Amino acid sequence: MKTRSVARILPMRTAGTHHFVERAYRETGAFQWVRETFVNAVEAGATRIEYSIDWQAVESHGVYRRVIADNGRGMCAEELVEFFNTFGGSGKPIGGLHENFGIGAKTSLLPWNQYGLVVISWREGVPSMIWVARDPESQEFGLKIEEAIDPDTGELALDEVYAPYPDDDHGCDWSQVKPSWMGDNGTVIVLMGNSPTDNTVLGDPERQESDIKGIASYLNRRIWSIPADVAVRTLEFHAGDRDRWPKSEAESAGQTASAAGVVLTQWRNIEGAAFYIRYPVEGFKRGRLVDSGTVALEGGTEVDWYLWDGDRPRVGSYAAESGYIAALYKKELYNIQIHHATYRSFGISEAGVRRNLWLIVRPPLLDDAGSKHGVYPRQDRNALLLRGGPNAGQELPLTDWGAAFSERMPTAVLEAIRRARGDRAVSLDDASWRDRLAARFGTRWRIARLRSRTGGHLRMSLQEAGGTPKKKVRVRRPESPGAGGGGGGGTRGAVTIGSRLGDAPAERVKVGGGIPRFRAVGGEQFSEGMMAAWQPNDPEFPEGAVLINVDHPVLRAQIEYWQGQYAEHFADDIEKDVIDAYGEIAVAKLAHSAFLSGIVPSKVIEEKMRSEEAMTMALLGLIGEEAVIAPRLGGKFKKQRHD
């Protein structure tokens, strides 16, 4: 056997890589390394992937190191060097629109494993081992070069790739880290941390990765579906009670719950996000996936929707239990959104519907050949960008997609919204008040509607109220200069403006839409502390609706104050009048913002001046509200309450 000792670290072939590695690492998110190693394994043809632990080091040194193993095609010695000792290596083009960049695994692992990544790969039963680390003197990342003295010849060799060997210094025989299920091909990566004694089983110590279900939670939210022929599982370690961690693999396998009822280590299978949307739990009768479908938007974008009814099975934190909006790209979810405001842009504000509705947007991929429209991943692989027309690198147009989805709202989703709204659907019944406000602002308040048009790519109903075609009318055309008499006349065809979907061809247009509505809703539909919000895309009101938080403490205090001024039997009517007053004022303030069009960018108006924070701030003053409330109540409820 050769006698080995470390001589030096051979820097990566691209000079100054530590700057690139550190910068790229800062752009990544928590558990990025899990995504990168998973995708690499799948692309290598693996049918089994495990995030496990090196039990040898546990038993000999009490060190818990994370091990990532797969049974893909493996790498020979030359491929290992090419992959790990070249920044951007792996035989993949760097910067290709839809490539899984070769820099991912290295940049997400090396900054918190500067002592090293031990990589052992088997190709047709032949193992090759490398050790990637950071040189403490030059600060460069590269391969550890080992001196190997052959006892038979006495010759000295410097090896960057070598056969796995027993390593007393680190408490393991590297040839024994290969799992029994791997076969003749596969790869094992051992995360060594920043020192020989680091416990890397809890992930990156600089990020929040110590949750026992962290890896499962990440993959079950990020990966849409696990390939049918691939099994993925992770060995979970509870961050607390480290003194009670199992001291051997056998102890872990036979472990029972701790005194607090917590299992400190356990294996968990990864199923993917799609599985936990449908979540077919046998025997569960309190809820189910009741409907699903696809809504086609412009430009080739489609939205898959999934609607659950009733309770959900317990998921815990190892997957997403409630609804979300996300973009699907090559079997991965990007730009995951759960915020109220994002759902409101899709026409959904009701908390009960949000919890049970998943919207998965599938935009077209940007073609490498030069198509003018489509999405591609940001270099850190954590967000998608859109190229449309001459512009590149735009954020995803979730608001525009939301507006288009709300116009095509599936019947099942619309019915769920109506059930959730119940009797609180709308206020502002004072037609004269709305007419006065509309006279001032209606022409400025532009809303998206459908207009009938032969050959239009959308579809609308001609049956909704106010939407029947107008009669043809005679139109006088001005005489053409030099024409010999016979003034040009003609007819103007029927024009229908509406919002409901149907069978008639139509196009989308912007028209003066009158004044937004307002709706009184519960506090669960708002961010914490917010009193009002703007929902531009409402499935029942194309002009949009202002939401008033009837549970907000400021509004409740106002209601209680005015109820205290009058007899108790007026309490319910007073509550409605106070809420209506706040709603009317909120609508008026929102309508006034239309005057800023052309002065302030529309994006600023929509995102800043009509935000939850801005709408809430506009309603916190008492003088304006009392000027509306006091005369209204005084005129209706003459008898003042006396104590």
Domain boundaries, the chain: 3-211, 277-423, 430-443+515-643, 446-469+490-512
pLDDT of residue 314: 87
pLDDT for position 119: 95
Average pLDDT value for residue range 385-396: 76
Q: What is the pLDDT of residue 494?
A: 46
Phi, psi (degrees; rounded to nearest 5) at 203? 85, -165
User: Which stretches of 18-93 are assigned E, i.e. beta strand?
Assistant: 48-53, 66-70
What is the pLDDT, as a whole number, of residue 467? 42
Using CA atoms, how far apart are residues 246 and 248, in angstroms rounded to an integer?
Answer: 6
Residue-level length of the chain: 643
| SS3 category, 483 | coil
Q: Which amino acid is residue 200, in one-letter code?
A: T
pLDDT in tens, 9-60: 666 554 456 667 787 788 888 999 999 999 999 999 999 999 999 999 999 9
Which residue carries 């090419």 as its tokens? 82
| Residue 393 burial (CB count, 10 A) | 9
Helix runs in 350-389, H state only: 351-355
* 458 neighbors 507 (Cβ within 8 angstroms): yes
Q: Provide the 10 A C-beta neighbour count for residue 314.
A: 9
* Mean of pLDDT values over 468-489: 40
551, pLDDT greater than 70: yes
Residues 343, 466: Cα–Cα separation, whole Å: 29
> What's the pLDDT band for 432 if we cut at 50, 70, 90?
low
Question: Are 144 and 152 within 8 A, CB to CB?
Answer: no
Lowest-pLDDT range of 190-199, 373-382, 402-411, 594-603: 594-603
Contact 148, 160 (CB under 8 A): no
Q: What residue type is assigned to position 629 of the chain?
A: I
On the question of pLDDT at 281 being above 80, the answer is yes
pLDDT tens per residue, range 110-148: 999 999 999 999 999 999 999 999 888 888 888 888 776
Pull the structure tokens for residue 581: 């007053």
H-helix or E-strand spanning residue 452: strand 446-452
Query: Quick one: pLDDT at residue 472?
Result: 42
**Interatomic CA distance for residues 207 and 217, integer angstroms:** 15
Q: What is the pLDDT of residue 95?
A: 40
pLDDT tier at 97, thresholds 50, 70, 90? very low
Q: Are 30 and 207 in contact (CB under 8 A)?
A: yes
Within 8 A by CB and 6+ apart from 613, the residues are 530
SS (H, E, C) 241-256: CHHHCCCCHHHHHCCC
Indicate the average pLDDT of the chain: 81
* pLDDT for 485 beyond 50: no
HSE (CB half, 13 Å, CA atoms) of 552? 25
Q: Which two tokens stand for residue 164?
A: 């796995």
Q: What is the mean pLDDT of residues 194-209?
A: 93
580, burial (CB in 10 Å: exposed 0-12, middle 13-18, buried 19+): buried
- Residue 210 neighbours by CB distance under 10 Å: 15
| pLDDT band (50, 70, 90) for residue 89 | very low
Residues 544-573 have a mean pLDDT of 90
CATH of 3-211, one of 3.30.565, 3.30.1600, 2.40.360, 2.40.50: 3.30.565
Q: Give Rg (Cα) of the chain.
A: 32
What tens digit of pLDDT does each residue of 489-538 get? Answer: 444 444 565 555 667 787 766 665 567 888 898 888 898 999 999 998 88
The first and second tokens of residue 44, run together, are: 């290598």
Residue 109 confidence class, pLDDT cut points 50, 70, 90? very high
b (16+ CB within 10 A) / e for 36-45: bbbbbbbebe
The pLDDT score that the predictor gives to residue 361 is: 97
Closest CA to 209 of 48, 35, 24: 35
Place 244 in a pLDDT band, splitting at 50, 70 and 90: confident
Q: Is the pLDDT of residue 459 over 70?
A: no
Sign of the dihedral through C-alpha 44, 46, 51, 55: negative
User: Contact at 8 Å (CB) between 61 and 55?
Assistant: no
Per-residue pLDDT band at 1 (split at 50, 70, 90): very low
Residue 444: per-residue pLDDT: 54
Question: Is the pLDDT assigned to residue 220 strictly greater than 50?
Answer: yes
Query: For residue 225, what pLDDT is reported?
Result: 96
Q: Give the 3-state secondary structure of 565-632.
A: CECHHHHHHHHHHHHHHHHHHHHHHHHHHHHHECCECHHHHHHHHCCHHHHHHHCCCCHHHHHHHHHH
Q: 166-170, 319-323, 370-374: lowest mean pLDDT where?
A: 370-374
pLDDT interval class at 433 (50, 70, 90): low
Average pLDDT over residues 590-614: 83
Q: Which amino acid would we find at residue 12?
A: M
What pLDDT digit, counting tens, does each position of 247-257 carry? 888 888 876 54
Q: Determine the average pLDDT of the residues in 582-594.
A: 84
Using the predicted structure, report yes or no on whether residue 203 has a pLDDT greater than 90.
yes
State in Å, rounded, how far the first CA of the chain is from the last one: 101
H and E: helices and strands count for the chain? 18, 29
pLDDT of 11: 60
In the predicted structure, residue 318 carries a pLDDT above the cut 70: yes
Bridge partners for 68 per DSSP? 51, 189
